[in-house]
Structure 1
Amino acid sequence: MSDLRLEDTVFEHLKKTFSSISDRMEDARRDLRSADASAVGESKLIEDVQDFADDWGYGIKQLGKHTHGAVKMINTIGDTFDKLDQELAESLKVKKKGK
């Protein structure tokens, strides 16, 4: 390996964090979807609560998609970094042999 290092634990921590966010977003979306708006009583208020839950459910779903996308990107960055690290190490070996 070369002197260019980034610990794998950094990527693992980021993936764990973003995966956790994505999972929690999905749980919240399910909770909102199954909420009983009739508990608030007034029909207009029930409708407003349902609209709110629908809007937030959609937003939460989008946030979950983006955090899932972030996990994919973190994987790509880690793979690319490892590849570049290997290439740098190989180029340093070639330079040492050339001396």
Structure 2
Amino acid sequence: MSDLSVDYEVLNRVRHNLDQIADLMKKPGREMESVDGTSMGVPELARRMDDFGDEWSYGIKQLTKFSAKASKALLKM
């Protein structure tokens, strides 16, 4: 006898939500990559904006990958 019970309907909803998160995050990630810091005018602000855009884009890509992988893992259960 097992103490573990799995509600597959809940898992399917979680997987669907993770798929939606991955899809939702792709657009802002692409848009942030194209932000050009020089449009800020001040050189230091432009450099910081470029750095922020790069880091933000990387973070969004990581969240997108995690969501997609978590969704696939739930399909294997």
Shorter-chain TM range is: 0.7 to 0.9
Structure 2 partner of 1:24: 24
Instruction: Give the TM-score normalised by structure 2.
Output: 0.80
* Structure 1 unmatched runs, 5+: 78-99
Structure 1 partner of 2:53: 53
Structure 1 partner of 2:67: 67
Task: Please give the root-mean-square deviation of Cα atoms over the aligned residues, in Å.
Answer: 1.8
| CA pair 5-32 structure 1, distance change in 2 beyond 3 A | closer
User: Once the two structures are aligned, what percentage of the paired residues are identical?
Assistant: 30
| CA pair 31-5 structure 1, distance change in 2 beyond 3 A | closer
Q: Which runs of 4+ in 1 moved over 6 A?
A: none
| CA pair 14-35 structure 1, distance change in 2 beyond 3 A | same
What's the CA shift for 1:5?
7.4
Count, aligned residues: 73
Query: The residue matched to 1:68 in structure 2 has which SS?
Result: helix
| CA pair 21-62 structure 1, distance change in 2 beyond 3 A | same
Instruction: Give the TM-score normalised by structure 1.
Output: 0.64
Larger Rg: 1
What's the CA shift for 1:12?
2.8
Aligned mates of 1:31, 1:9 — CA distance in 2: 34
Structure 2 partner of 1:38: 38
Aligned mates of 2:6, 2:25 — CA distance in 1: 33
* Structure 2 unmatched runs, 5+: none
Instruction: Point out the structure with the larger helix share.
Output: 1
